[in-house]
């Protein structure tokens, strides 16, 4: 699906809300920034239920501070197991 850039809506939130949007087929892309630091706990990207989300890498960007940003496109098939 191709959308006008004005219709792109950033989505942030906990794993439950992102899983709900995935269930409805409402997420087209993930842009994930990986920060080079270990933390003991965090919010899961997707809810704890078993899920298979096929992704296709669109781009990878490295920053001088060690941050890596990956852009994945969600493939059409997504299901909960």
Q: What is the pLDDT of residues 8-65, one digit of tens each?
A: 566 666 778 888 888 888 888 989 898 888 777 777 777 776 578 899 999 999 999 9
The region that residue 36 occupies, defined by phi over 0 for left and psi between -120 and 50 for alpha, beta otherwise, is beta
Helix extents (H) in the chain: 15-23
17 vs 5, 20, 30, 35, 63, CA distance in Å? Answer: 23, 5, 14, 22, 29
| pTM reported for the whole predicted model | 0.70
Q: Where in the chain are the domains?
A: 29-81
Quote the pLDDT of residue 6.
Answer: 47
The CB density around residue 18, as the number of other CB atoms within 10 Å, is: 21
Q: Which two tokens stand for residue 33?
A: 């920034």
């Amino acid at each position: 699906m191709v959308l006008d850039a004005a219709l792109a809506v950033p989505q942030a939130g906990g794993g439950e809300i992102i899983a709900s949007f995935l269930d409805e087929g409402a997420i087209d892309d993930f842009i994930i920034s990986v920060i080079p630091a270990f933390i003991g706990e965090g919010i899961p990207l997707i809810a704890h239920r078993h899920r298979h989300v096929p992704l296709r890498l669109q781009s990878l960007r490295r920053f001088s501070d060690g941050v890596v940003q990956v852009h994945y496109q969600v493939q059409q098939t997504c299901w909960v197991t």
